[in-house]
Amino acid sequence: MSAADPGREADPGREDAGEAPEISIVIPVYNEEAILHAAVVDLRERLLPFGWRWELVLAENGSRDGTLAIAGELERKYAEVRHFSIGEPNYGAALRAGIERARGRFVLCDEIDLCDVDFQRRAIAMLRAGGVDMVIGSKLIQGARDDRPWARHAASQMYNGLLRATLGFRGTDTHGLKAFLREPLLGIVRECVVDKDVFASELVIRAYRAGLRIEEIPVRVLEKRRPSINLTRRVPNVLRNLAKLTWAIRVRG
């Protein structure tokens, strides 16, 4: 269905048919049927005043509920929305595939339970101004506010400490909100060797090691629902991928 079809809602901020978007928002989704439709509608409404030419890429990965069907309905209804599925639960692989499919000059990586429009606005302004290739929304930097349960906050701090100890990470956060120029980051995306939860960390660490210009800004994290994957179930896989990443960077370079 084309952008001119009556079944799709018009929006002055969307790309016209045949015109590539300037900004791509990539969001992996997994078992999100409870919030997906409302989150996308809310995001569209809050982005409308910006006048952006943008697209939303929903990267579905192995949901067992109605997430994939809802993503398809959203694509049919809204011209800004695109979706695909990788067919298995794998956040990192979905995020990577979404970045590779993104068409915008600027790429925003967000979470469906966050959709932080304030971060998106600030990050795009910084990228447009020049002098920076990547903006990271840190929940651990001074001025940030992490309203997640204490165990989740503590886990993020411990994970960040592991990255510092094993890989010499110089920042404060690798997960969550990111914005970057697609062109200089695309090659780094394709160099990454791990997936699932650790892909986002590898992307940021390799960007630092490549000498890209990176700036962190504080954000507030207030999730709209409980995590779709239990924290303790994630730990073994995170440790395996972290060991693989440490070997890849420290030994292979």
pLDDT value, residue 15: 47
Q: Model confidence over 118-144: pLDDT tens digits? A: 999 999 999 999 999 999 999 999 999
Tokens of 95: 């995020």
Q: Model confidence over 196-216: pLDDT tens digits? A: 989 999 999 999 999 999 999
Place 3 in a pLDDT band, splitting at 50, 70 and 90: very low
* Contact of 233 with 157, CB cutoff 8 Å: no
**What percentage of the chain reaches a pLDDT higher than 70?**
87
- Among positive and negative, which fits the CA dihedral 194, 200, 203, 209? negative
Query: In sequence order, what E strands does 104-159 have?
Result: 106-109, 134-138, 145-146
Tokens of 92: 């990192």
pLDDT value, residue 2: 39
Tokens of 63: 């949901």
Q: Model confidence over 61-88: pLDDT tens digits? A: 999 999 999 999 999 999 999 999 999 9
CB atoms within 10 A of CB 96: 23
* Contact of 106 with 127, CB cutoff 8 Å: yes
Name which residue leads in pLDDT, 236 or 59: 59
First to last CA, the chain: 46
What is the distance between the alpha carbons of residues 184 and 117, in angstroms, rounded to a whole number? 24
- Mean pLDDT score of the chain, rounded to an integer? 90
* Contact of 57 with 26, CB cutoff 8 Å: yes
* Contact of 103 with 196, CB cutoff 8 Å: no
* Contact of 110 with 40, CB cutoff 8 Å: no
Say which residues have a Cβ less than 8 Å from residue 181's Cβ, sequence separation at least 6.
105, 106, 107, 127, 133, 134
Tokens of 66: 């109605």
- Among positive and negative, which fits the CA dihedral 113, 119, 123, 124? positive
